[in-house]
Amino acid sequence: MKATCSIRILSMSLNIHTSTRINNWSFNRFYHKVFPLGLASRFIIMLSLVILSSQIITSAVWYSNIYLKEKEGLEVALENIASMAAYTVSYYQKLPKASRHLVLEQNRSMGGTRFFISLNSKSIPISGLPETELKQALTTKITHNLIDFLDEKIDINVDFTRRDQLRAYDAEVPLDDIPRAFARYTIEKAKHDPPVLVMQFRLPTEKQSNVDTHEQWLYLATNLPAPYIDLEIQFLDSRQFNFILLTSISILLCTWFLVRHEIRPINKLAQAAKMMGNKMDAHIIKEEGSGELVAAVHAFNTMNRSIRAYIRDRDLLFGTISHDLKTPIACLKLRIEMLENEAEKEKFKRSLNELEFMVEGALHYIKNTDIKEQLVQVDIEVILKELSQIYNADKPRVFLHGILNAPLLGKPVAFKRMLNNLMENAVKYGNSVDISLSDHNDQVTIQFRDYGKGIPDELREKVFEPYFRVAHEKQEGTGLGLSIVRNIVLSHHGKLILKNHQDGGLIVVLSLPRED
């Protein structure tokens, strides 16, 4: 029972681990497919994030400091306004009710005060500004200041509004509808339309025959003084935002051109490395750029020269071997013909034939794995149809399934030799072969399924070694076919997988990427 539970727990752990790896792989593939960004683009994005983060941090610090200073300055300004308003209220409180309108007219004719003043029989409703934390704090602050300055209990209404929402007198007349004769006593229009502070005070009334007369409210209104043109301090105003935007764009553009200039040697290095992988022949790159790039390009150029020298020496060596070995082998064959013992003659002939076969096989291997040709668009489907006609001359042995949507970039002669070797092996060892084609956005998959004996699991990698033959295979051949195939596949950055079919036979899966 414990063993069964342990096995289940282990199985669940493996499934979770496998699913996690699959999800990570799927996410990475999706990310690189959706965001195929180069070095310059990634650098610009990272720099943009750095600039954005620094601007947000510095703006937040600036905003906190400015906010405190602006709030403190606004509180001081409102305290001064409250002091003047309290003096005005005290003055009107001491006047008899009947004389207050006369004094108000006198004040107007003499130039008035900084306040728009009116005497009303009721508290005028105010269409206040939206309730914010700062507005509430300032309203509470100025109310307390007024109470402290007046030093007595009095009904006070304090609010903030806009000039176009301001109403005056008992009839609640809009400020702009007041006659022009009162224009100089009204609140002046300001450029930025600052908030208007409205203070209403309930004045004491006289008593006649123990009956209160109608109540009277003193109405005071004034603009907030410059530079306090708003109750809320913006995190970034339009000028600051435009300045930050212009600065960031300028930095990013300059950085973009600099990075593009610096990564030009990297692009050349990538192209040369690709040519080296495809044709084993890349030009020498100019050593320029930063110190690290110069060192990398210099190392690549050194490697390129070494590989060129190696290939040149190898071709010269095998050419010399092929030339030098043919002459002594031919001389030995002539000497064998002069032997009188037929049995010995046959033994020597067999040994020389094996030697000649091995030399030709080695030269053939070198020739087929070192194909120097240009990359072109190759129609693999056409090549497979041509080869299948050769093997189907006597009877049907090769069966094609599926189609390819577009040609594939590669070496045509190398592709033909690769596909011919795979088809030849499948027909030779499996009598017939089913070839399935499947085309994807990023790669082409070709599957060869024969009906032979297959390959033992422990020998799947060894069959790619030169001259290796499976024990039960007695057909003629050099044992170099799969070695040649794998070298060609790797030179095209592809994959080659061998696996046995559950019903018998071998499956060869060939995957070739679509490259630009």
34-56: b or e for each residue (b if 16 or more CB lie within 10 Å)?
Answer: eeeeeebeebbeebeeebeeebe
**Interatomic CA distance for residues 140 and 128, integer angstroms:** 15
**Residue 270: its pLDDT value, please?**
76
**Residue 449: its pLDDT value, please?**
92
How is residue 190 annotated by DSSP? -
Query: Which of 96-100, 173-177, 436-440 has maximum average pLDDT?
Result: 436-440
Three-state secondary structure along 219-257?
Answer: EEEEECCCCCCCCCCCCCCHHHHHHHHHHHHHHHHHHHH
487-510: average pLDDT: 87
367-376: pLDDT as tens digits: 655 555 677 8
72-107: pLDDT as tens digits: 777 787 888 888 888 888 888 888 877 788 877 776
Residue 323's H or E segment, with its range, is helix 291-337
CB 254 within 8 A of CB 351: no
Domains and CATH numbers, the chain: 60-223 (no CATH), 291-366 (1.10.287.130), 371-513 (3.30.565.10)
Helix, strand and coil in the chain, % to nearest 5: 55, 15, 30
Strands 433-439 and 398-401: parallel
**Residue 9: its pLDDT value, please?**
46
Confidence of residue 23 (pLDDT cuts 50, 70, 90): low
Burial classification of residue 252, based on how many CB atoms lie within 10 Å of its CB (0-12 exposed, 13-18 middle, 19 or more buried): middle
Residues whose CB falls within 8 Å of the CB of residue 307, separated by 6 or more in sequence, listed in order: 276, 280
Confidence of residue 58 (pLDDT cuts 50, 70, 90): confident
Strands 116-120 and 216-223: antiparallel
Confidence of residue 4 (pLDDT cuts 50, 70, 90): very low
367-405: pLDDT as tens digits: 655 555 677 888 888 899 888 888 888 888 899 998 888
16-43: average pLDDT: 55
189-217: pLDDT as tens digits: 766 778 888 888 888 776 554 444 577 88
Looking at this protein, which amino acid is placed at residue 138? L
**Model confidence, pTM:** 0.43
More confident residue, 235 or 444: 444
**Residue 447: its pLDDT value, please?**
93
**Residue 182: its pLDDT value, please?**
60
Lowest-confidence pick of 29-43, 117-131, 199-213 = 29-43
Which has the closest alpha carbon to 197: 238, 227, 152, 157?
157
442-455: average pLDDT: 89
Quote the Cα angle for 216-218-219, to 5°: 130
Quote the Cα angle for 224-228-234, to 5°: 135
